[in-house]
Each structure stands twice: as structure tokens, then as C-alpha cells.
Amino acid sequence: MSNILITGATGYIGRNLVQRLIAEEHYCRCLVRKNSRIDFLKDYSNVELFYGDITQKDSLTGICKGIDVVINSAGVLAKWDSSTDDLKSVNTDGITNLAGELIKNDVEYVIHLSAGGVTGPVKGPPADETYDCRPRTAYEKTKLEGEKKALELSRQHDLPIVVVRPTFTYGPGDPHKLPLFRSVKRGSFVFIGSGESINHPVYIDDLIAGIFLLFKKRPMGETFILGGPHPVTKKDLIQTIAEELGVKKRFLHIPPWLAICGAFGLVSFARLLKFEPILTPSRISMMVDNWGYSIKKAKERLGYEPRFDLRLGIKKTIQSYIALQWL
């Protein structure tokens, strides 16, 4: 068994990683902040809480002592009014703040979680790891800079680092995708455009399995995309959710130009009146643009084979939301 440090342990991906590692009897040291929600970690004998902040280098002293593997899953999701500076301290500088401790303690392996969306909207066929990234949003830009820093550390200091780009991750208990499921259940979901643009969902168990393959095979200085079996259209995604919820499948469509006009107006009023707009330019991009990826490299190099097709993953996610009384 290995001694593993996990940053971002209280996030959705991090939490699932910890639970899988604990189940396999690994020792987990979890980086948490004083205000982190840690109730789910307290009952395990093989979990140690390390209080610190990945944005504050001095708070990380000793964090890698006795650690074999680091999984850096710390990240900040963008809000409608997030700036690059709001996200940079975690998404970009977090891995740099860890670097001294990684080097000093001769850590055997580092898995750095980036994001599929660092490509920006995908033009042409599904994007692979060689795709020319053109991020648009502050989130995409800071995540791309973070993975660049990770790979630069790997080259300059001969650190055993690999970068993972998870695609559109979802699964049981995911709070981030819950509003989407709720809007479909209410019948209030609205397509922007035709709904034929591409997305690439990956069920959380498949993503975790892919990370464990990296943990086992340990490629270094490379990037791997981990996604579901294949990309799907937004229409297929929403209709599958509707079918599994047992609700009508007919949803309104509005043209992108109208949505863009509405979004700019809403954002302007939101800044003035201090409320969260329901429509933003980044949300329009997620609906209208293509976000499809190739997992060929992970399949060939790691033996990665996602097991959960869209319908099964959606079914299990809905079951969890109902059990939690969220839907």
C-alpha cells in the first residue's frame, strides 16, 4: 500500500478519489483548510488531515514528508464574475507552491488534474492531446497554465509528473450538475441553438479508474485525456436525462444571437444589482460550441476502457439525487 497526498480532497473528484483509496487500504493525507467540510473524512483510521492552503506556500511545509504519491486535484471552478486573478492562485500557482516539497521529499509520482476544457471550443474532429489549445475563459486559461507549469517542473527538476484532463465529469452526489438535472425535471431547460453540438461526459467511476491506471503504470511528462466511451450531442444528453426522469422530452430552442444579447444584458444588470445571472456568455459557449475529445491515447497506452455508457451513468446519478432528496 502507498502513502498518498490528495489536494482538493473535499471537492467532488477528490472526495471520490479518497473513498476509493481508503477502500483499497492506502494511507491518505488530505490537504484541507480550516473552513473545509471534513465530516466524511473523520471516521477513517487511514486518513490524516493536513491543515494548510495550496495558495500559501509556507502553509505546505512538511506536507510531502513520508508521501509516495501526490494527486493534485485542487481547483477552483469559475463563477459568472470570476477574474483570472480569482482562479490563478489555485488553478495555476497551486502546483508551483507544492514544487519545493515534492523535490525535497523525493516523491515517487505526481498526478496533476487539469481539465478537458483547456482546449477551448473544439474545431473539427474530437480533440486529442496534441490539439492546439485556445482557451477563452479565465477558468480554461488558468487550468492550461497550471498544466504547463506541472510539465515544466517535470522537465526542469526531473519530477515524475503526469497531467490528466478529465472531460465533463458527473455522477452520484455531484452538486455541480444538480441544477442541470433539476431544470430538466421542471421542464424549464432551454436549448441554445440546435442541440447538435458535442459534449463528452465521463462518469465519475470511469474517471477514477483511469487515474488508478496512471497510478499503476506511471507515465511521466505527458498528458492524458480521460473521458467517457464517446462524445454525445447536447440533445442526446438532455433527452437521456429526461427519459430517465420520466418527464417530457420537448424543450424550447432559442437562437444563439438572442441568447448572447440576453446574457450581456443580464450580466450588466447583475454587476449593478448584485445577483447571479441565469445566463452568461460562458454558459452559452458550453451549449453552442463543441467539446468532444479522443480517449485513444489512454486506451492504447493505459488500457483505459470506460464501463459506463451515458444511460447507465445518468440512471445512477438520478438514483443518488433521489436518495439524497435533491430531486
In this prediction, residues 95-104 reach a mean pLDDT of 95
- Predicted confidence at residue 181, as pLDDT, reads 97
Closest C-alpha to 54, from 16, 101, 18, 108: 101
Structural domain 3-171+201-229+292-308, CATH architecture: 3-Layer(aba) Sandwich (3.40)
- Predicted confidence at residue 141, as pLDDT, reads 95
- Per the prediction, the chain carries an average pLDDT of 93
- Predicted confidence at residue 48, as pLDDT, reads 92
Residue 117 has pLDDT above 80, yes or no: yes
- Predicted confidence at residue 88, as pLDDT, reads 95
pLDDT tens for 266-287 read: 888 778 877 788 888 888 898 9
User: pTM of this prediction?
Assistant: 0.95
Domains of the chain by residue range: 3-171+201-229+292-308
In this prediction, residues 196-218 reach a mean pLDDT of 97
147 pLDDT tier (thresholds 50, 70, 90) = very high
In this prediction, residues 156-183 reach a mean pLDDT of 96
Percent of the chain residues topping a pLDDT of 90: 81
- Predicted confidence at residue 304, as pLDDT, reads 98
**Of 16-20, 159-163, 247-251, 298-302, the least confident:** 247-251
Residue 92 has pLDDT above 80, yes or no: yes
pLDDT tens for 148-169 read: 999 999 999 999 999 999 999 9
Which tops the pLDDT comparison, 250 or 318? Answer: 318
In this prediction, residues 121-149 reach a mean pLDDT of 95
Residue 315 has pLDDT above 90, yes or no: yes
Residue 69 has pLDDT above 80, yes or no: yes
Which tops the pLDDT comparison, 119 or 264? Answer: 119
